[in-house]
Structure 1
């Protein structure tokens, strides 16, 4: 067995590898969903990373198993601000929590580019500022607009507020200033300025800010620009959006140009020739963290050469050429007062620790995740985590150490058994759903032959907690993102006798039903005429959601943001997706072949889709919902390219670029990349050593070209 408990790769048959890959992919997808969407981690960081590494190792050893990765970013802009659509999306970064993760990142970059160990790749390293991302647009050197990140594609218009920030130039100086340039960076507050703001808040009898980031965000997002002007906001420039002609060929050179043009840039940004230099600079910045005078939460590494950044491109919604190396999470000690069970939309029973309030890393924490029942049992005699799940356990009344994993999600890290109350009793995890009373069971994991760590309610549609959580998911920020319809409002409407919301379609009939009711929503506690008008307007604003958000919002198991986007890109409309999946129930059908061939959509996702659309009640729910909303196709990517909308398959050895690079290029040009050839395939790009896919192409009458023909077809866009 390997160090992580897996059988050696050379002992696996293709069938065993496929079964293990399927189980791992499902486990990782569930962990991603729990972590990124529900703030409810079900795997420890080290365990999650081990699963990811194993998945990648399997895909390297068995290339037919390759699948897509998943990341998330952003939140939709608030309705009280006008909106600005970013010409170039503002993306998030993947995270590294250990030196080994950074080494893996460097190796991934080398592998993608086909570089050998002796080939130099220069990286930049700079502090990761803990503030609010901002994009500044200049035309002919003059500031014309400023926008927050928002959901990465559309942000809040804070132009007037940004004009009050002293470190944001109103006009750029220099002979090489482009006609159009979007400079991006971070708005933040220094520690001393933050303390002074909170002093003034106390003197006025107002609530204090929890930390400098919250204070900076609140200061920039004021409707009254004079309030923003009264607060000493600062700005570091480090990135860019639209910029037709960069002033330099490297990341470092462009940031130097920013400084010439009048921006403040971070003096701790350096170039690093290898991994050792990157980690050494990380240690230096970490040692200076407390004396910088502003908050940082890690170090960002980027490939320095812009041409290589272009080749590397993006995966999901993050660049392949950059990563954030986060600092170790801060710890605090407090008392666990109660353990409560929350039921998620998939029926998962998740234990939550209710804590005596404690400040961790500048944030007051009252809740922490306990992951699952095995996690509750898994402390050893020294109060440290163990794998076996044997007693001693964690109990209500224990004194615990709380850690903010990745400086975001609090979790119970250790228990002080010496301070355990004498009357503390072992916690008995429920075997019945606390919401509906149905049995709660642990399914058998096909990979390990053991029970899954997660216990799930078997109540399904009769479980009110699952229904409520599905509705919360549907309106969440990464799905339809309806302003004014948060968790509290969903819970209210779900039980309201006059305006019940039991399924998504009910949300869009609220205004009509309210108009027909004698008792109006505006007259109920917590509402008013203005808030109701805003809510109904926000709901109407979501009647034409982007297709990927609509698919994600349906809450189909194993369909996260990445798979929702893949499906939206591939099928173009919900009607086509629905029709294709229903037809794909027939094994061997062209629709099934097409679905199986979508690159990144594995068998777990296919089965989840088939199961969802096979349920009559889901079809009825969709009919009612689609009578109210019209999902919109994603904006065409490079729609003028000759391969836009075509299904392309790559096979054989490629000489000018790696296989991953070829796929990334095709997707940038609007093509849909598949992993196998079917009757739906439009084009096969075949390099030397192409095998069975050539025969499949001949059988289906698919056009075949070589690598040179590909570059000719797409306009000579060589890999560089």
Structure 2
């Protein structure tokens, strides 16, 4: 009876510890303190030592580290562990992906296309984890690709890797390959311990990971909090999947973390368009990333492509040059964006990174500040990778020689003292006051930008001048400005040769007339351009075009329901809810009424009655490539016309292209279309068929 109660307590502890491991390592949302966790683990260790017959082989205690190994043993890989070809430019990436599709083209069945999976390239150390009948049996480094070192003793200490796969019907063999890594926060904590022990701090996460997995003493590795992401496979026996996407989903079901934010895309163009979105999220990641990887999704297509001597033909990596420097954090200030987002910004002692002087870096949100535990006065590591904006990677906590106050995120808007609200289920905190002057400034700046209404002359300085002189308080006020009023305005300018001395300079007649002309030209840009320029959350240029193809006037749009808008291809419920909410809010109604009174066009040209439904447009669902010099359209005009007719203007030719419009001097794209059997038509044929 005593053994039964002890077994029950052991089982309860195992369940609790596994739950908290998942919350800490996989969900990044711990629910208990380190002390509470260590207390649970200590009790389990003690019970298992007293009753070794009750300890399971996959108990969490097996992660604390076993006996020291004498040396690392070299073991052959069952399937070679190859490297990946790299490229450092978007053009080279596109060319490489198109070469892969060209190799596959002759083998594709009718209607078959090439799908791509895009995923982060984690900057860690490659490892291969072998499960046999569900049990973790062997872990190897890549080594030379043919033979790797046995690091099983250290990999067993990685807490987000299950010692047994979470399934009642495990496969005979599942060799999971991926990246062993350390988070920036865990490196900062490790360096604090290093400093207390009088040892040198580690420079970066990759170096400490590479050293840790090759340690002979697993007890040391257990203190380093290494982690693992699976992004590929070696030998698989009894795993029934036929694509990379399906494999990653299977991996997640087995309790193994798969590479994060992986997404499947249906064409090279779609993949390249998605790069920016993945890049945008990179600064907020808690681990290091040095690129983006593109993989052919279908295992059958991979088999057709085969491998070179050192790398597979079905994968290519787009890598970033990464640079970093250490500097002091002088201040943290918050800025208010055009949709009210409160963004904390780190002000730094200026430091040179890759030839650029960096004095500011985004801290993204309140959660990021808490995760980094960054404080004014800290020594911080700042990184710049590719075109990504500088980011604070981590705090050198071991260099914190005095107690520094934590940063208190404001409870009210720093500009208008309005209330702040956190997005439901999100990380961003926003000012909810629609009259906030900081939001108005950012909205006006975006409204005048090339991505907005493209108003020549309406930059940040001019917006500041107009606000200072109280000439504008809304978008519509811009259309009420006149050249005489603007010409007589004065703004501060630096006197030449007088250092920082400022003098008032007249705005001037020429500047005034140019600005009024730019504003006037924007008056007839149309409803789609307007919708994407007035800072409605989730409504950008592409969304606005799709919506106004069906609802081309403001009254139609205002009468559309959330369900009707969500049913439009590519829109969905979140975008529809945001737009409907704005349209029927007091703020939205006032914005459109004001713009209408100012004479701004709030509609698109009405399509012919027989093609009013976007699904019935002549090019609906078709992918068209235009190449060469066209007589009646510029490049932008033909792209816009294709989209107006319901099609998608693609930039490269593939088997999924419906047809190619070939103008004069059409070259490689025409040749590729002909080789793939894609229809090629002249500009005259296009006009007679679709655009008479």
Which TM bucket (shorter chain)? 0.3 to 0.5
Larger radius of gyration: 2
TM-score, scaled to structure 1: 0.43
TM-score, scaled to structure 2: 0.45
Higher relative contact order (CA 8 A, sep 6+): 1
